[in-house]
Amino acid sequence: MLLALAATAIVVLALLWDVLAPRTAEALARRRARRATAALDYDPGRERRAEARARMLLRSCVEEEDWAMYRDLGFLRVWGGRSRRPGTGPDEDGSPYAYLIYPHKPILAYLPQTGRLLNEYCVAFPDETRPYGSERLPDSDDVLAKWMALTGDEQRLIETANLHLPGRQLDPRTVERDLWRLRRWERARARSIASGEPATAGRVPAS
């Protein structure tokens, strides 16, 4: 009798083990993953440090004026490659056009002479490896990636982007205000440089 009970208990335990072992292993794996994620998330300064590093890299790549523009205004202007930038000689390929580059927002094409908005180019640089759980580059890396792609191979980037009319993602009133801020900033900067003041005198507040 005792032997039969023991044998039954062993069989029951074996069956239970078959059922419970995979679930237990899954639960343990989930717990380990949660802990790992929690460990990754618990670094409030990581994104800030990443952004600080990205800003240094951006600053080292673009012209000093462009860096000052991004620092003061929060966006970067890049002249279109298929036209000449103003003041560099006769324009044989049409009116100068330019792009505004915002971090993690569409690239906006416009005509500087008239302020007319042309197109929004929606483009992203997702990193599928998601090293810290996110595919988004730091803001300034996103701006630098757009700048490199635009100045290095404008056509390739524009062909890759999704084209939309102005106003889809970027509020035209905000953009018009940014263009106004840019004009003020350039005038102030030109005055500062002419008078020998520090270049930061061109700072224009957003509001």
Partner 1 sequence: MRFLRMKPGHGEVLIAEGDVEMPQDEQRLIEEFRRQLEAGMWAAVPVTAGAGRREARMARTFDDVPRDAERVIFFPPAAGGC
For the CB of residue 70, give the shortest distance to partner 1 in the complex, in Å: 13
CB atoms under 10 Å from CB of 125, counted, come to 14
Residue ranges that bind partner 1, judged by CB under 8 A? 46-47, 49-54, 57, 60-63, 66, 88, 106, 120, 122-128, 130-138, 141, 144-145, 147-149, 151-153, 156-157, 160-162, 164, 168-169
Q: Which is nearer to partner 1, 26 or 43 (CB)?
A: 43
**CA 146 – CA 76 distance, rounded (Å):** 10
From the CB of 187, what's the least distance to partner 1, in Å?
Answer: 22
Spatial contact of 123 and 161, defined as CB atoms under 8 Å apart: yes
What does the alpha-carbon distance between residue 31 and residue 26 come to, in Å, rounded to a whole number? 9
Q: What is the closest distance, in whole angstroms, from the C-beta atom of residue 32 to partner 1 in the complex?
A: 21
* Residue 28: Cβ within 10 Å count: 10
Q: How far apart are CA 176 and CA 135, in angstroms?
A: 30
Distance of CA 61 to the CA centre of its chain: 16
Nearer to partner 1, 63 or 92 (CB): 63
Shortest distance in whole angstroms from residue 163 CB to partner 1: 9
The whole-angstrom distance between residue 189's C-alpha and the CA centroid of its chain comes to 27
Residue whose CB is less far from partner 1, 133 or 198: 133
Question: Would you say 110 or 121 has its CB closer to partner 1?
Answer: 121
Strands 162-164 and 98-101 turn out to be unpaired
**For partner 1, which is the closer residue by CB, 122 or 188?**
122
Residue 28 CB, nearest distance to partner 1 (Å)? 27
